[in-house]
Structure 1
Amino acid sequence: MERRTFLRNCILTAGSVLIGGSAIFRFLKVSKQKEEPLSTTIETICQGNGKNVLVLMSAGTRKGNTDRLTDAYIRGLSEKGHSVTKVYLGSMHMAGCRGCGACQHNGNRCVVQDDMQLLYPLFVACDMLVMASPLYFWTITAKLKSFIERLYAISVEDKYPEKETVLLMTAGDNNKHTFDQALNYFHIISGVLGGKEIGTYLAGGCTGCENISRQIAPEHLEKAYKMGLDL
């Protein structure tokens, strides 16, 4: 190959790479500009004269079955005059407890710096904790479990702030023992937090992600709403 031809081919190749790289850069830049901002993970739903209620919706899918069940319950709470803060736990970055024990020697401050730091003051201030979760492998979600584990940081001599507790759950199954494991765990956690269980609502027979659309029976939503209204 002649030297002139070789140089021309090298220049054309380099130019193609540069043009292609520039096009890719422009595409990525435009795509980045079009990205939607992250949705709010903590929302103040209402302010009332009743109880201060912290609701942890731990499903990763918004507007799914668990979220709809949770919103039905919140609607009842709101109409009754309670203050409600809703947390989309499934959208937060939160690790489980490391078991390092540092919190017990540095003034009950967790050394893991993630979104759990936003939830400690909300938990301390609330009168009632509502845990909402789909059934994953016969128990609550990993995110909700992580939240519970990380409460160890604010324990004093293995004692925890006392809170009223509520459990809301959804599942595809609707058998007699579908929720047994999750329910037993909830009883344990409620006992640790003072044994003030307000109630549970377990919505079985929901259509999950395996189908075209998620579905929860309207009677579940109505009963959850009335449960919130009766508080």
Structure 2
Amino acid sequence: MKKILILNGSPRKNGKTASLINAFSQGAERTGNEVSSLYLNSMNIKGCLACEKCSKNGGECVQKDDMETVKEAFEWADVVVFASPQFWGTITGQLKVVIDRLYSEMHRLGFENFVKETALIMTARGDNYQFALDFYAIFVNLLGWKDHGTVLGAGKEDEAREIGANIK
């Protein structure tokens, strides 16, 4: 059984991204995984200040906001799923801010304990996901996270359900 954290970066609570998240969660829970989802748009999370204080004080960020909830969930999780509609060719600002702020968590946990498994769920009007896939490759390749796959496009609930079910 895996503990799966879904970081929902969509500004629409019940939009197409949510539909894919629900399908993914159904598949993951059907095979015994535990799933938790955070709807980032309802959280108060400020952007990284690039002050580097987290690198000097054991990963403690100087900002005190809802990122504490994200960091607790991140530490709990074995798998982190990035879910977002495509904005300007990549993920939404809501999700990007959280990813930037995970920098302090990497300092707190240490690089070797920051490694997770991951998946990407995205929707868009078009079919060009290259910028988003390049960004996602940072986690898979640079950080050494295990990739469980991507779901790229609205209406792919069966694909999302299958990826969720295959996480073991």
TM-score by length of 1: 0.68
Give the SS at the match of 1:96. coil
The equivalent position to 1:106 in structure 2, one of 43, 57, 62, is 57
Post-superposition CA distance 1:73-112 (Å, at most 9, x none): 1110011100111110122111121100111222211111
**Gaps (5+ residues) in structure 1?**
1-49, 204-215
Paired residues for 1:96-175 under 5 Å: 96-156=47-107, 159=111, 161-174=114-127
| Whole-Å separation in 1 of the counterparts to 2:91 and 2:66 | 19
| Whole-Å separation in 1 of the counterparts to 2:131 and 2:140 | 14
* Conserved 8 A contact 2:58-2:107: no
Post-superposition CA distance 1:54-79 (Å, at most 9, x none): 01111011110001111111110011
Give the SS at the match of 1:108. coil
Give the SS at the match of 2:163. helix
Post-superposition CA distance 1:143-178 (Å, at most 9, x none): 11111111111223982611001000000113xxx1
**Gaps (5+ residues) in structure 2?**
none
| Whole-Å separation in 2 of the counterparts to 1:148 and 1:191 | 16
1:191 partner amino acid: N
Aligned residue number for residue 222 of structure 1: 158
Tell me the number of residue pairs that the alignment of Structure 1 and Structure 2 aligns: 165
| Whole-Å separation in 2 of the counterparts to 1:65 and 1:194 | 29
Aligned residue number for residue 71 of structure 1: 22
1:172 partner amino acid: R
| Whole-Å separation in 1 of the counterparts to 2:94 and 2:49 | 14
Aligned residue number for residue 183 of structure 1: 133
How far apart are 1:137 and its partner, in Å? Answer: 0.4
| Whole-Å separation in 2 of the counterparts to 1:73 and 1:146 | 23
TM-score by length of 2: 0.92
Percent identity at matched positions? 35
How far apart are 1:192 and its partner, in Å? Answer: 4.0
1:76 partner amino acid: G
